[in-house]
C-alpha cells in the first residue's frame, strides 16, 4: 500500500507530513518507556523483519497481490510507540533506497501504514487481551484479530485522504468499496503472518513480547490464612536470558536475510491492492516518477546485475542490513536517552537529612 508521488496533492501531503512528524516525535518519547535492555535490540530486528516480509507479495485474488504492512506485528512485539518508529524506519529505507513509496508522499505513507495500523491494531489487541483468558493462546488470537482489522483500516484511511486531496476525479464510493474489499483479503494474510510470528516468539521467549507482559500472574500460597506471592523459581543456569535473547535475535536476522535474499524471488508479481485499485479506478492518472528512480537499488534490484535472482536477492540482503543498522541505531539512541534521563533524575534527588 505504498502511495507514490502524484496520488495526493501537495497541501494534503504536507499536512500528513506534519502529522507524521508529530507522531514520530511522540513515539520517540513514548519509546523511552517501552524499550529496555531486552527489547531495544529486538526493535531494530523487528524493523528489518518487516522490511523482509514486505518483499513477499502473496496472491489474494485474480491479478492482485498483497504484502505485510507490519504495524500490528511491530506494536505487539515491541510496543505501540516503538512500533510506529519501526514501520517509519522501514518506509524511509524503502522510499530512499528502493524508490518504493513517494518521497512527497512519505507523510501519507507513515500516517497510513505506521500510525493508523499501529494505533488501530494495538487498541483492539489490548481490548481483546483484557477480556480473553490470560494465556499465550489468547495473545496469539488477539494478534490475529488486530492484524486482520488493521489492514482495511489503513485502506479506509487512504480513501479518506484521497477524498480530501486526490489528484484525479474518481467515484469515491466505488474506490472505497474496492479498497476495503481487497484489503480485507490482504488482512487475512497479514493476520496469519502476525499470529504465527508472535506465537513463535512467545513459545521461545515470552518476556520479549511487549503485548504479553504481565501475562502470567505470580503463584499464590496461603500462609497463616493469607495469600502471599510464592518465591520465583530459580532460573536455569544455561542458556540464560541474555544468551537466549541473542539466539532469538540471531535466528530472526537469519530468517529475515533468507526471506529477503532468497524467498522473495518467488513472491507474486501481480500488483498489490492499492496498485490494482488505482489502475482500475483511475487513481493513478497523475502518478509522478519517483525522485530516486535512478537509485542503484530502485525496484528492489541491483543496478548492472542482469540475473534477476541474484539482483533481487542482493538488494533484499542490502535492505535488511541497512534497515537493521538504522533501526538499531535509532533505538539504541532512544534507549541511551532513557538511561541518561533516569540517571539525571536519580542524581537530582537531594540526600536525606539525618
Give me the residue label for grid cell 514486505.
54
- Among residues 105, 112, 91, 106, which one has the least CA distance to residue 326? 91
Q: Counting every residue, how long is the chain?
A: 354
Per-residue model confidence (pLDDT) at position 237: 38
Query: Model confidence over 260-314: pLDDT tens digits?
Result: 999 999 999 999 999 999 999 999 999 999 999 999 999 999 999 999 999 999 9
- As a whole-number percent, the residues of the chain with pLDDT over 70 amount to 87
Query: Model confidence over 109-119: pLDDT tens digits?
Result: 999 999 999 99
Q: What sign for the dihedral angle of Cα 312, 107, 117, 62?
A: negative
Give me the residue label for grid cell 541473542.
246
pLDDT at 15 over 90: yes
Give me the residue label for grid cell 500488483.
271
Multiple choice CATH, 10-217+248-343, 3.40.50.300, 1.10.1060.10, 1.10.1760.20, 2.60.40.1940: 1.10.1760.20
End-to-end alpha-carbon separation of the chain, Å? 64
pLDDT at 339 over 80: no
pLDDT at 239 over 60: no
Question: For the chain, which residues make up each domain, given as ranges?
Answer: 10-217+248-343
CA–CA separation, 252 and 305 (whole Å): 28
Contacts of 176 by beta carbon, 8 Å cutoff, 6+ apart: 156, 159
Query: Model confidence over 121-150: pLDDT tens digits?
Result: 999 999 999 999 989 999 999 999 999 999
CA–CA separation, 255 and 261 (whole Å): 10
Per-residue model confidence (pLDDT) at position 354: 41
pLDDT band for position 61 (cuts 50, 70, 90): confident
Amino acid at each position: 500500500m505504498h502511495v507514490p508521488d502524484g496520488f495526493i496533492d501537495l497541501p494534503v501531503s504536507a499536512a500528513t507530513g506534519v502529522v507524521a512528524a508529530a507522531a514520530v516525535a511522540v513515539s520517540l518519547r513514548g519509546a523511552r518507556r517501552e524499550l529496555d535492555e531486552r527489547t531495544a535490540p529486538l526493535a531494530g530486528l523487528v524493523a528489518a523483519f518487516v522490511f523482509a516480509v514486505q518483499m513477499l507479495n502473496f496472491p489474494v485474488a485474480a491479478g492482485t497481490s498483497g504484502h505485510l504492512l507490519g504495524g500490528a506485528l511491530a506494536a505487539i512485539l515491541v510496543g505501540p510507540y516503538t512500533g510506529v518508529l519501526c514501520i517509519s524506519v522501514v518506509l524511509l529505507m524503502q522510499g530512499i533506497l528502493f524508490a518504493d513509496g513517494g518521497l512527497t508522499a512519505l507523510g501519507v505513507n507513515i500516517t497510513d501504514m505506521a500510525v493508523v495500523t499501529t494505533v488501530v491494531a494495538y487498541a483492539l489487541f489490548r481490548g481483546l487481551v483484557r477480556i480473553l483468558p490470560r494465556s499465550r493462546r489468547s495473545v496469539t488470537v488477539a494478534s490475529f484479530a488486530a492484524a486482520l482489522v488493521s489492514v482495511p483500516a489503513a485502506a479506509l484511511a487512504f480513501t479518506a485522504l484521497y477524498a480530501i486531496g486526490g489528484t484525479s476525479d474518481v467515484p469515491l464510493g466505488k474506490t472505497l468499496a474496492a479498497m476495503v474489499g481487497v484489503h480485507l483479503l490482504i488482512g487475512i494474510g497479514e493476520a496469519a503472518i502476525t499470529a504465527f510470528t508472535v506465537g513463535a516468539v512467545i513459545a521461545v521467549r515470552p518476556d520479549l513480547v511487549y503485548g504479553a507482559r504481565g501475562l502470567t500472574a505470580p503463584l499464590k500460597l496461603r500462609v497463616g490464612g493469607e495469600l502471599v506471592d510464592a518465591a520465583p523459581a530459580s532460573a536455569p543456569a544455561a542458556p540464560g536470558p541474555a544468551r537466549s535473547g541473542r539466539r532469538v535475535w540471531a535466528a530472526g536476522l537469519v530468517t529475515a536475510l533468507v526471506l529477503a535474499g532468497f524467498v522473495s524471488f518467488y513472491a507474486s508479481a501481480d500488483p498489490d491492492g492499492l496498485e490494482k485499485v488505482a489502475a482500475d479506478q483511475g487513481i493513478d492518472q497523475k502518478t509522478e516518477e519517483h525522485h530516486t528512480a535512478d537509485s542503484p537499488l530502485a525496484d528492489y534490484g541491483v543496478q548492472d546485475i542482469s540475473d534477476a535472482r541474484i539482483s533481487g536477492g542482493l538488494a533484499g540482503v542490502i535492505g535488511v542490513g541497512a534497515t537493521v543498522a538504522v533501526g538499531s541505531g535509532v533505538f539504541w539512541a532512544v534507549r541511551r536517552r532513557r538511561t541518561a534521563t533516569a540517571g539525571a533524575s536519580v542524581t537530582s534527588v537531594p540526600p536525606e537529612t539525618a
